[in-house]
């Protein structure tokens, strides 16, 4: 297989990809992550994953680029990373005591081929009290996380069940990423 580059600075994506035993480098592109008017969560994460892959491919045209983007969706709203404590609390209030969706767009790109997919996992959150939110905020874990939580960390105590890919909620749906890598490998 040609040289593989993960287009992400996410330590969670790096750890997930390392689980597969693949050799890869990391290069994190700078792209505009603004949501387009009328854009739904699935379209948003796929567009960003493909934009990241394209930006890195321009730097490394002979490589295979794997990029992903993950966001939480609830009530047709995209819950990105919290900008403040108040913002995190607003996100948690919107997912408290109910189910929400986690979407990841994954894109594998070479100079000749592009394959992408969107993976959806449904996550159920328990009803959160103000004390739960204060305690969770105090851990520091919500910072830099879509939906202001990390299922692989302390937030697991608030999540009674998920339907779908666990690795998707962490930030990189491994099964689907491998399938895309196989397609590109077969074409190169």
- Tens of pLDDT, residue by residue over 12-57, are 999 999 999 999 999 999 999 999 999 999 999 999 999 999 999 9
132 within 8 A of 97, measured Cβ to Cβ:
no
Q: Which of 3, 120, 118 is nearest to 50 (CA)?
A: 118
Q: Which residues of 20-41 are buried (b: 16+ CB within 10 A; e: fewer)?
A: eeeebeebebebeeebeeeeeb
The beta strands (E) that lie in 23-146 are given as 25-26, 64-74, 77-79, 99-109, 114-124
Domains of the chain: 4-187 (3.90.950.10)
**pLDDT computed for residue 53 by the predictor:** 98
Q: What is the pLDDT of residues 135-153, one digit of tens each?
A: 999 999 999 999 999 999 9
The average confidence (pLDDT) of the chain is 94
Report residue 187's pLDDT band, with 50, 70 and 90 as the boundaries: very low
Supply the residues annotated as catalytic. 69
Q: Which of 1, 119, 2, 117 is nearest to 57 (CA)?
A: 2
Pick the residue with more confidence: 50 or 188?
50
Task: Note whether 116 and 179 are within 8 A (CB).
Answer: no
What is this structure's pTM?
A: 0.93
**What per-residue confidence (pLDDT) applies to 1?**
56
């Amino acid at each position: 297989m040609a040289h593989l580059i993960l287009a992400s600075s996410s330590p969670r994506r790096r750890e997930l990809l390392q689980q597969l035993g693949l050799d890869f480098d990391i290069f994190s592109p700078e792209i505009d992550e603004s949501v387009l008017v009328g854009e739904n969560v699935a379209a948003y994460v796929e567009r960003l994953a493909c934009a990241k892959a394209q930006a890195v491919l321009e730097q490394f045209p002979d490589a295979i680029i794997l990029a992903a983007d993950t966001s939480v969706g609830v009530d047709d709203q995209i819950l990105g990373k919290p900008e403040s404590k108040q913002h995190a609390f607003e996100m948690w209030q919107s997912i408290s005591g109910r189910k929400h969706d986690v979407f990841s767009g994954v894109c594998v790109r070479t100079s000749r081929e592009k394959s992408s997919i969107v993976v959806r996992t449904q996550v159920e959150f328990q009803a959160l009290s103000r004390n739960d939110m204060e305690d969770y905020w105090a851990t520091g874990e919500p910072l830099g996380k879509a939906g202001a939580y990390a299922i692989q960390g302390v937030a697991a105590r608030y999540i009674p069940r998920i339907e779908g890919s666990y690795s998707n909620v962490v930030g990189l749906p491994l099964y689907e990423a491998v399938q895309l890598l196989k397609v590109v490998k077969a074409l190169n």
